Every structure is written in structure tokens, then in C-alpha cells.
């Protein structure tokens, strides 16, 4: 019997190792490979952001014209293979050869072009995937265009994944015909609260809707977590599944990681102490064995930075050091820089997005603070565990699904429920207290050996693909 190999095309705007601004890039950089290993023909299509990737190293497959309302835009098609996965790149210098990936005045037009190009390229390549799997608002037009325009792909199914419902792709109504090239008669499909909402449209038309943890999937029925889209989630809840993200366990392996000062693993932790001392030297902190707390995060309110801010004076009364790495809201950036000035031997704040330094901080630190207000999945808490930095997290979204509170023998971190300074501080104190006891070794061992690989979740995705295409 011929083996039924599913053809799944991922469509996204971020993918490691090419470029990423957050967790989406990690997921698109590792899930397709895991699906490949499980027997799926998974491929990935991305815009070619030329600032991050030189097309000289890619193979050119051809050139087509992509219609976008009254425009006809040229589109180069490039490809490469990495680790058994085929990547396609959509080239248009006008849209994608820019300094920034996002935040341009015409993002709506740029990603509408990309979304139409996806289908035009599939026609050009005569490649008919069983499933097109789109991710977040930038590719929300992919399933929408499929249903409205590309009816020749009648056997292809659409999966849409929400990595964070905060970003919905909202636009003024005027963009519908003039930029997206969609008839007024379809306005109601994309309309939400008087404006165009691409995530809403994708939720309505997709065949399966997923998000990145079971708890976040549940929370999305609450209008607060759904950022206003609660009614649309409820209407489409029969299609919704929450599947916990994994991480690339080879990439985030302290025995192999290239950017850290010394390798280590769960059986031999001597290198961990070296990482701490080298980072203290680098950051001008006193050489000390006091617990080192770390924050590696976008400095945004939903990451729970207020809880850290409001309890920091108390936390710093303990014998600890704090390293903060991240960028974001000005007021938070200024606050942490100010704290570094005020308490120089204890606080180091690096206001930057620096992946290399992030690895070093994961490897050096003992306790990882992530008290998010909401967190669809979160990958940092998993990476921290792998590097033996014990997470203190709030029980929300994927944090709740990946970190279990340490009691006696089991558990890989410290978990608190209520979004308030008191509960957070108590959890931090528990972690600091435990650091000084023999229990710490057991806890750290649990954390470092937690299963954060993709195999279980890849099986959950495959189940969806099979259900859709049987
Ligand atoms: C978004 C979410 C984060 C998740 C990531 C990957 O960045 O905010 O929680 O881990 O996507 O799915």
C-alpha cells in the first residue's frame, strides 16, 4: 500500500535561522523539521527579507507577476534546502528590501502581496499541498484569498495558527478594494467593530484553527484574553485546538551551545558556575555565588514587567543579583537602567535584543523571572529550564502548561496564580530559599530534563492534517 504522505506548506513571516523577532521564528524554524522526521512533507514559504538573507546563496526558480487590486507586481521565486526542509522565498525588492521586517506604513499592502504571491507561486510550481498552514495576522489573507480567489485548489485545506491574538491586522475599510483587491460584497467577512480585522477573517474561513497551548485555547473564550475577539472565538470553537509549542532541543542544548562560556549538562554542572562567573566579569558584577535572577523579555506590560518593577526593592533586599536583557516600552527601559545606576553591584540592565548574550544569560543565571499577565505559549521558560535556570512563572497560557510547581520531588519551577505583587514576591522568595538547600539539585535536574521537544505536538498537528484531508 502506498504510504499516505501529507504535503504541508507553512506560510509565515519569520523563520530561524534566517530571521526572527520572537517566538514565531523559533516555531517556524523547528516545527517543519519535526514534522519531516515524523514523515510529513513539510515545506516553508517566506518573504525574502534581503537585509537578513543574501539571495546569492539561493536557487532561483523563476519570475512571475502577482496581481494586487489594480497593481501588477513582479515576484521572484527562490528556494533552498536545510535539514531536509525545502524553503521557498518570495522576492520583491520594493516590498521586502527594507531595513525593518515590520512596522512600515504599508505593512497591509506588503503582506497582502505576500499572501497572494503564495497562491500564484503554487500555481506556477504546479504544487498542490494538502494543507496550507498560515501563522498570525501577516498571513491571515492566505486562507481568505484561497476561499475567495484560488478555488482551483479545491482539495487544499487551511490551518491557521494564532501565536498571539493581540496582533490582529486591523485596517481602515478603504484598504479592502484598493489594496487587498477584495470586493465590497465580502466586507462583512473581514469586518469587526467597524474596521477590517484580518485575524477575524482567517478564523472564519480556515478549516482548522490552532493556538500555541491548551490553556491559551481555553482562555481565548474569555473576551479579555481574546483582545475583543471572544465572540468570534466562540463561534469557531469547534475548529479550535491548543497545541503546546516545543523548542529545538539541539539548538538549546547547554552541552553543545556555541555562544556560551563553558558547556555543561544535567549530569555535570561544573560549567554552569563558570558561565555565571564569566558573565559577572562581562557585566561588571561582583564575582559571587548569590543566586542570579534573570529577565530576558520584550519589556511590555503583558509580560508582567510591572510585577517585577513593583517588587524589585523587596527582592533586592535579599543577597541576589539581577540581569535584565530586552527592549520595549521606554518607561521600562528607563526604569531598569535607572536601577542599574542606583544599585550597581546587584543590577545589570542591557537594553538590547541580543540573541548571543541571551544564551549567555540563560546559561549563567539560576532563576528566571517570567510573571506574564498573558502568555500564549512562551518559549523562554523552556529554554531557561534547559540551561538550568529555574523559572518563576504565573499560571497562564503556555506557562501553566509547561512549568509545574516544585513540591517535594516533582516539578520544574515555581508557579503562582494571581496577578499581584504579593504572590509573585512569595514565589520569588521560595525560589531564592530553595537555592540555598540540597533540593536545588533535584529541582534543577527536573528542569533540565523536562521534555520540551516537538514529538508529541508534531503528532497532534499530524492528527489535524489527517482529519482534514481524509
Ligand atoms: C508569540 C507568543 C508567545 C509564543 C510565540 C510562539 O510570540 O507571544 O507566547 O511562544 O508566539 O508561538
Mean pLDDT of 107-115: 98
Q: Identify the CA nearest to 32 among candidates 131, 110, 116.
A: 131
State how far the alpha carbon of 461 is from the alpha carbons of 233, 373, 390, 405, in Å: 20, 27, 29, 28
Which residue's CA is minimally distant from atom 8 of ligand 1? Answer: 164
Atom of ligand 1 nearest to the CA of 245: 12
Q: What is the pLDDT of residues 50-68, one digit of tens each?
A: 999 999 999 999 999 999 9
pLDDT at position 5, please? 86
Question: Is the predicted pLDDT of residue 316 greater than 70, yes or no?
Answer: yes
Residue 64 alpha carbon to ligand 1 centre in Å: 33
pLDDT of residue 4: 81
Mean pLDDT of 384-409: 97
Q: What is the DSSP string of 422-466?
A: HHHHHHHHHHHHHHTSTHHHHHHHHHHT----SHHHHHHHHHHHH
Among 10, 14, 160, 164, name the best residue to mutate to test ligand 1's pocket (greatest count of ligand atoms within 8 A of Cβ): 164
Average pLDDT over residues 446-465: 97
User: pTM for the full model?
Assistant: 0.96
Rounded CA separation 4/449 (Å): 34
CA distances from 107 to 111, 115, 184 (A): 6, 12, 21
Q: Ligand 1 centroid vs 24 CA: distance in angstroms?
A: 6
Give the pLDDT score at 64.
98
What spacing in Å lies between the alpha carbon of 226 and ligand 1's midpoint? 14
Out of 245, 304, 372, 381, mutate this one to test ligand 1's pocket (max ligand atoms within 8 Å of CB): namely: 245
CA of 217 to the centre of ligand 1 (A): 13
The pLDDT of 349-357, averaged and rounded, is 95
Q: Grid coordinates representing 450?
A: 523536562
For the CA of 166, the closest atom of ligand 1 is: 8
Q: What is the pLDDT of residues 198-256, one digit of tens each?
A: 999 999 999 999 999 999 999 999 999 999 999 999 999 999 999 999 999 999 999 99
Q: Are 405 and 413 in contact (CB under 8 A)?
A: yes
Residue 390 has a pLDDT of: 98
Q: Is the distance from CB of 36 to CB of 42 less than 8 angstroms?
A: yes
Average of pLDDT values for 381-395?
98
Q: Residue 279 contacts by C-beta under 8 Å, 6 or more apart in sequence?
A: 261, 285, 292, 323, 360, 361, 363, 364
Closest residue by Cα to residue 382 from 394, 374, 391: 391
Closest ligand 1 atom, CA of 216? Answer: 9
Q: Where are the alpha helices (DSSP H) in 206-260?
A: 214-219, 230-235
Cα of 215 vs centre of ligand 1, distance in Å, is 13
Instruction: Ligand 1: list residues with CB < 6 Å.
Output: 22-24, 27, 163-164, 212, 245, 375-379, 398
Please tell me the predicted confidence (pLDDT) of residue 409: 82
Q: pLDDT tens, 283-314?
A: 999 999 999 999 999 999 999 999 999 999 99
The pLDDT tens digits of the residues spanning 255-266 come to: 998 899 999 999
Q: DSSP string spanning 323-364?
A: EEE--B-HHHHHHHHHHHHHSTTTEEEE-S--HHHHHHHHHH
CB 114 within 8 A of CB 182: no
Are the beta carbons of 41 and 6 closer than 8 angstroms? yes
Q: Is residue 1's pLDDT more than 70? A: no
Determine the pLDDT at residue 258.
Answer: 84
Whether pLDDT at 42 is above 50: yes
Mutate to test the pocket of ligand 1, among 21, 326, 379 (most ligand atoms within 8 A of CB): 379
The percent of residues in the chain predicted with pLDDT above 90, rounded, is 97
Eight-class DSSP state of 403: -
Strands (E) across 100-181 are located at 131-135, 157-162, 170-171
Cα 39 to Cα 36: distance, rounded to the nearest angstrom: 5
**Helices vs. strands in the chain: H and E counts, helices first:** 18, 18
Ligand 1, residues 165, 248, 376, 383: which to mutate, most atoms within 8 A of Cβ? Answer: 376
Q: What is the pLDDT of residue 3?
A: 65
Question: CB-based contacts of 80: which residues, under 8 Å, 6+ apart?
Answer: 57, 58, 59, 86, 87, 89
Amino acid at each position: 500500500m502506498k504510504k499516505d504522505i501529507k504535503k504541508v506548506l507553512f506560510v509565515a513571516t519569520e523563520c530561524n535561522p534566517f530571521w526572527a523577532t520572537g517566538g514565531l521564528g523559533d516555531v517556524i524554524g523547528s516545527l517543519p523539521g519535526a514534522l519531516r522526521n515524523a514523515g510529513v512533507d513539510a515545506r516553508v514559504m517566506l518573504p525574502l527579507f534581503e537585509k537578513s538573507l543574501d539571495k546569492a546563496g539561493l536557487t532561483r526558480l523563476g519570475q512571475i507577476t502577482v496581481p494586487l487590486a489594480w497593481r501588477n507586481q513582479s515576484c521572484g521565486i527562490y528556494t533552498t534546502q536545510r535539514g531536509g526542509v525545502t524553503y521557498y522565498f518570495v522576492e520583491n525588492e520594493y516590498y521586502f528590501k527594507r531595513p525593518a521586517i515590520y512596522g512600515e506604513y504599508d505593512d497591509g499592502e506588503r503582506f497582502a502581496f505576500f499572501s497572494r504571491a503564495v497562491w500564484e507561486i503554487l500555481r506556477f510550481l504546479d504544487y498542490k499541498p494538502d494543507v496550507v498552514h498560515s501563522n498570525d495576522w501577516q498571513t491571515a489573507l492566505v486562507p481568505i484569498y484561497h476561499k475567495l480567489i484560488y478555488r482551483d485548489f479545491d482539495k487544499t485545506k487551511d490551518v491557521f495558527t494564532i501565536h498571539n491574538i493581540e496582533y490582529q491586522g486591523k485596517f481602515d475599510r478603504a484598504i479592502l478594494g484598493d489594496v487587498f483587491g477584495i470586493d465590497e460584497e465580502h466586507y462583512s467577512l473581514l469586518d469587526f467593530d467597524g474596521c477590517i480585522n484580518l485575524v477575524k477573517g482567517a478564523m472564519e474561513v480556515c478549516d482548522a484553527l490552532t493556538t500555541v497551548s491548551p490553556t491559551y485555547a481555553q482562555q481565548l473564550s474569555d473576551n479579555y484574553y481574546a483582545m475583543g475577539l471572544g465572540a468570534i472565538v466562540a463561534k469557531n470553537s469547534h475548529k479550535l485546538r491548543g497545541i503546546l509549542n516545543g523548542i529545538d532541543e539541539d539548538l538549546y542544548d547547554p552541552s553543545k551551545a556555541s555562544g556560551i562560556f563553558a558547556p555543561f549538562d544535567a549530569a555535570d554542572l561544573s560549567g554552569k558556575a563558570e558561565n555565571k562567573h564569566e558573565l559577572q566579569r562581562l557585566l561588571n558584577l561582583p564575582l559571587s555565588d548569590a543566586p542570579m535572577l534573570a529577565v530576558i523579555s520584550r519589556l511590555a506590560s503583558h509580560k508582567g514587567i510591572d510585577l517585577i518593577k513593583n517588587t524589585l526593592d523587596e527582592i533586592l533586599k535579599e543577597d541576589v543579583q539581577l540581569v535584565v536583557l530586552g527592549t520595549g516600552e521606554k518607561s521600562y527601559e528607563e526604569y531598569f537602567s535607572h536601577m542599574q545606576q542606583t544599585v550597581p553591584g546587584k543590577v545589570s540592565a542591557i537594553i538590547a535584543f541580543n540573541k548571543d548574550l541571551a544564551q549567555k544569560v540563560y546559561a549563567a543565571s539560576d532563576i528566571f523571572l517570567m510573571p506574564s499577565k498573558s502568555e500564549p505559549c512562551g518559549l523562554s521558560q523552556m529554554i531557561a529550564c534547559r540551561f538550568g535556570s529555574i523559572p518563576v512563572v504565573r499560571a497562564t497560557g503556555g506557562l501553566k502548561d509547561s512549568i509545574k510547581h516544585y513540591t517535594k520531588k516533582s516539578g520544574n519551577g515555581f508557579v503562582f496564580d494571581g496577578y499581584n505583587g504579593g504572590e509573585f514576591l512569595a514565589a520569588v522568595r521560595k525560589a531564592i530559599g530553595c537555592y540555598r538547600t540540597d533540593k536545588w539539585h533535584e529541582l534543577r535536574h527536573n528542569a533540565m530534563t523536562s521534555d520540551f521537544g516537538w514529538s508529541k505536538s508534531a503528532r497532534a498537528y499530524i492528527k489535524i492534517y489527517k482529519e482534514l484531508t481524509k
